[in-house]
Structure 1
Amino acid sequence: MRKDAMKLVRYGPAGQEKPGMIDADGQLRDLSGQVADISGEVLSDAGIARLAALDPASLPAVDGSPRFGPCVGQTSKILCIGLNYSDHAAETGAEPPTEPIVFAKALNALCGPNDDVEMPRNSQALDWEVELAVVIGTKAKYVSEADAMNHVAGFAVMNDVSERDFQTKRQGQWTKGKSHDTFGPLGPWLVTRDAVADPHNLSMWLDVNGERRQTGNTSTLIFNVPHVVSYLSQFMTLMPGDVISTGTPPGVAMGMKPPQYLKVGDVMTLGIEGLGEQKQTVIAA
């Protein structure tokens, strides 16, 4: 990732986040005098170019360590790709899919990268999944793979928190195991597309209580980012701010023998090369 990469953030209390950017020295700068939110037209190539043209030193510095919210606003949907890493499919014993497995996460799952994660009532199998998230920048409908990246604003870290019993034992689709409040920490920042040289060669990791659980690289994606964006756009219109979580490498609790699911008080720390880190503590819902 380029050292001068623009990192866009949303900071402040939940539901009252302000737009900001992190400058080259790691200082948080307020963007609310320039844009209303990191959303909509701001995520287009032209919108990002306008922000990139600003002198960060001219923007107000934000003191202290405010909470970071999800790094994009006005999201209309969260779409996820299941079993999209060849090594993760192997650990679950599943055959690699022949086309993307798609499921949805409810919008209420979105939260900040360091917010507490709730363990749902009656949960027995709370799990983690470090994932590369793709943020859509411009409306995408029936786009080709060749054109797909032109509709991507950038990339971020996502933890696709999952309740495996709800997901696999409660009948129907996976959505109910993926959609509890706080099941979608996103951020800390959105790194714009131009700053990520190759989204298909990023190392990624996740620790639980300081012990490494997941180690992977986006190079083992079965379906790459252009394929996934184009594929999804054949079924639904992707809108600016929509989030696509592209799958997880091996090392999830469900794949351990025996499984070692999360419990209240556990701490997850995770990150992706060039895209920052997250940290969440599990609390009771």
Structure 2
Amino acid sequence: MFILQPPVYLDDNNFYHKKKKFFRRFDKRAHNHGPTYDLRLIILRHAERVDLVLGESWYDYVFGGVPSAPPQSYLHPLLPQALPQRLNTLLYVFDPPITRLGESKSYTRGQELSRLGVSSIDHCYSSPACRSVLTASAVLDGISRNPVPIRLEPYLFEPLSWNQPLQMLDTVSPFMSTREWMMAGYNIDRNYQRLNNYLNPMETEVDFYMRSQYVFQSIERRHGGVAPPIGRASKRARHSTVLIVGHAATPLIFQHIALQQPFNSEVFGQQCGTIPFLHTVVLERNAINRMWYMRPIMSFV
């Protein structure tokens, strides 16, 4: 048993007895208003999709229905300023990009996060979908943390059973590879080992919950740090901030997992239909008790 002797007295000025320097030092640490978390997750849905602005015929309108469209096609005012050029533009039908306005709003969201106190991003994970990668890149630029490489993780993609056009491709992946993104000038982590490249086209919402839980636990193991000891040898917790960009289901499913909320597949699907573009959820893990809680986006400290 750890016994403090002599006893500590608290005077009217909220200071410990003058001769007990150790207790005054401990009290100063206890009232330090520094971060209490050791792991912070900033989770976003991607920005506005071009196909939802122009409709199903957007590909013909932008690329003229030509798989090998000329470079000038990529200069369309509705497309992002640095949309990667692909040998087969038809794949963009199955993997649509965001709009230029969506790219601008993503950059602004990054600036907002920076103003609210997000001074740095230590790691970034993104769904391999074009709309998510472009959003992640613009958000990082807005935070002025573009040197942080983006890790492409297929397990962050939306429930595949919700995406019927993508199921038509069978074994053909519509997503750009790490090499293709890098050749287009994007900062992608070439050394990241993906959790899995296979997505079950027949998975249910419960299956999606399970693979999302696998991603969540993987990120927690990689970047969770170690809880600080208590007492004289107490040290500051190591803080990590991770940016995660996915789809409408991503912020919601991570919230369910972290807060251990009950999961109802039918209700979950309905809720995902109400998630707006760039919807942001911030989750933080307490450095002492390792419990997760949600941080209001306007109250970063």
- Structure with higher helix content: 2
Specify the structure having the higher radius of gyration (Cα): 2
Q: If the TM-score is normalised by the length of the shorter chain, which range does it land in?
A: under 0.3
Please report the TM-score for the alignment, with normalisation by the length of structure 1.
0.25
Please report the TM-score for the alignment, with normalisation by the length of structure 2.
0.24
